[in-house]
A = this chain, B = another copy of it.
């Protein structure tokens, strides 16, 4: 109820966002101009990534004693071992390598009203793990090491609008810590921010102003809008009309909160960091050149040497996680009393801060399940795969964070389940309305990173004319 008052204070915010998401003209650059800018950027940015053995990465070493793979400065991130025991899923105990990056980075989008229409400032940025070099990243995508100068690189443009100590004048629209992949990161989270600035802020060479409508359209292009942009976009305040009456939602807010709490309480997941060499007991082989699983499943940890003409430092080495197989993240959606609803799963991942977060209906890498029988196949996967083309509302292959993952792609799907899919669900699933999901995204560690991409995608689908 307090939020209603906030809207009263910024009476036009929801309306301005809606206009930016639906106006068919008024963008500072039309789509053809944006495409030309992107092609220019691709020509300008030169990045060479060469895979190298882990023990030949400059600046990195397997730390004597513990054996963890880390930077000699102790900064950036490290690869450690994780021991997990759980009462959920087909495997009760396992160990695995995991990326540990305790620092909180900033993922921030600057928005500005231009000719009466809100525009988002995106950046053309290369990452060593990207399948295609350049993708569209947020205005600022900076680890704490970045902005406190551990790289010895140049200053981060626009950073001043995302720190209260900065000189930039701004209105904060969103600012929340959100988790990232709990299967690959240990308790990782980043600060997701959206700030509105005034007309004094202009786009530098590698930056471009896009309306929400343009950004929504680009979201459907394979491997173009990067993971960081997608997660920040998902935290945008809502512009779809909220329910006036919560009987329009399949469940009340307190019922949803209670379900999440129950799922957190009923699942036990104990995850503790351990020395990297101990992952051997889980079937992992830690070798001087790379880390692999003996069955060839899950992922490898590989080394990369990167040369770039556009980054803070011209050349560096870093480890990357290379997953085996393309993931699937799918959301079943339907209308209920005129409000769009998504079927979310109480997702359990070892790297979450508190056991459970809301995930997509289906989230898996199908190759990792070939070892299990039909009773352990991901629920609803068949339904998603057999959906008739006319009910597939969104179907794009998008990249996960190219700064940590090598060629990690996920096929994101939104499938209209129709009203024949019942509102009653198995205990680990619930139908939530889009306004409910938008509300939870104001708070930390409730909605996982794959679901956040799909929420941004769902809004883009709803705004299509």
A308-325 interface bits toward B, Cβ cutoff 8 Å, 1 = contact, 0 = none? 000000000000000000
Tell whether, in the assembled complex, residue B246 and residue A442 are in contact, meaning their CB atoms are under 8 Å apart. Answer: no
A343-363 interface bits toward B, Cβ cutoff 8 Å, 1 = contact, 0 = none? 000000000011000000000
Q: Which of B173, B272, B354, B444 contacts A177 (CB 8 A)?
A: B354
Nearest chain B residue, comparing its CB with the CB of A172 = B258
Name A184-207 residues within 8 Å CB distance of B. Answer: 189, 191, 193
**Which of A193, A237, A265, A442 is most buried by chain B, counting CB atoms within 10 A of its CB?**
A265
> With an 8 A cutoff between CB atoms, is A156 at the interface?
no
List B contacts of A242 (CB < 8 A).
Answer: 1-2, 5
Q: Which of B5, B163, B272, B443 contacts A246 (CB 8 A)?
A: B5
A155-171 interface bits toward B, Cβ cutoff 8 Å, 1 = contact, 0 = none? 00000000110000000
Tell whether, in the assembled complex, residue A254 and residue B172 are in contact, meaning their CB atoms are under 8 Å apart. Answer: yes
Min CB gap A132→B, angstroms: 31
Tell whether, in the assembled complex, residue A243 and residue B5 are in contact, meaning their CB atoms are under 8 Å apart. Answer: yes
Name A430-465 residues within 8 Å CB distance of B. Answer: 435-436, 439, 442-446
Nearest chain B residue, comparing its CB with the CB of A8 = B245
> With an 8 A cutoff between CB atoms, is A102 at the interface?
yes
Tell whether, in the assembled complex, residue A3 and residue B253 are in contact, meaning their CB atoms are under 8 Å apart. Answer: yes
Tell whether, in the assembled complex, residue B445 and residue A2 are in contact, meaning their CB atoms are under 8 Å apart. Answer: no
Nearest chain B residue, comparing its CB with the CB of A171 = B254
- Given contacts A3-B1, A246-B8, are A175 and B254 in contact (CB under 8 A)? yes
List B contacts of A191 (CB < 8 A).
Answer: 261, 264-265
> With an 8 A cutoff between CB atoms, is A294 at the interface?
no
CA distance A242 to B5 in the complex (A): 10
Min CB gap A374→B, angstroms: 26
> With an 8 A cutoff between CB atoms, is A4 at the interface?
yes
Name A101-129 residues within 8 Å CB distance of B. Answer: 102-104, 106
> With an 8 A cutoff between CB atoms, is A244 at the interface?
yes
- Given contacts A102-B270, A262-B164, A443-B443, are A246 and B176 in contact (CB under 8 A)? no
Name A75-107 residues within 8 Å CB distance of B. Answer: 102-104, 106
> With an 8 A cutoff between CB atoms, is A247 at the interface?
yes
Min CB gap A80→B, angstroms: 11
> With an 8 A cutoff between CB atoms, is A252 at the interface?
yes
Q: Which of B102, B193, B258, B444 contacts A175 (CB 8 A)?
A: B258
CA distance A311 to B249 in the complex (A): 43
Tell whether, in the assembled complex, residue A4 and residue B6 are in contact, meaning their CB atoms are under 8 Å apart. Answer: no
List B contacts of A175 (CB < 8 A).
Answer: 254, 257-258, 261-262
A416-436 interface bits toward B, Cβ cutoff 8 Å, 1 = contact, 0 = none? 000000000001000000011
List B contacts of A106 (CB < 8 A).
Answer: 265
- Given contacts A242-B1, A435-B2, A444-B354, are A255 and B177 in contact (CB under 8 A)? no
CA distance A444 to B257 in the complex (A): 10
CA distance A176 to B255 in the complex (A): 11
> With an 8 A cutoff between CB atoms, is A43 at the interface?
no
- Given contacts A189-B354, A272-B273, are A104 and B5 in contact (CB under 8 A)? no
> With an 8 A cutoff between CB atoms, is A33 at the interface?
no
- Given contacts A246-B8, A257-B176, A258-B175, are A439 and B104 in contact (CB under 8 A)? no
List B contacts of A247 (CB < 8 A).
Answer: 5, 9
CA distance A433 to B252 in the complex (A): 25
A245-289 interface bits toward B, Cβ cutoff 8 Å, 1 = contact, 0 = none? 111010011110110011011001010110000000000000000
> With an 8 A cutoff between CB atoms, is A174 at the interface?
yes
List B contacts of A273 (CB < 8 A).
Answer: 272
Tell whether, in the assembled complex, residue A173 and residue B4 are in contact, meaning their CB atoms are under 8 Å apart. Answer: no
**Subset of 16 A-B contacts with CB under 8 Å:** A1-B3, A2-B243, A2-B435, A5-B242, A5-B243, A6-B254, A102-B268, A103-B268, A164-B262, A164-B427, A175-B257, A175-B258, A176-B257, A193-B258, A193-B261, A443-B443
Q: With contacts A2-B435, A9-B245, A172-B254 known, what are 6 further pairs, Cβ within 8 A?
A: A2-B246, A2-B249, A5-B243, A102-B268, A254-B442, A444-B445
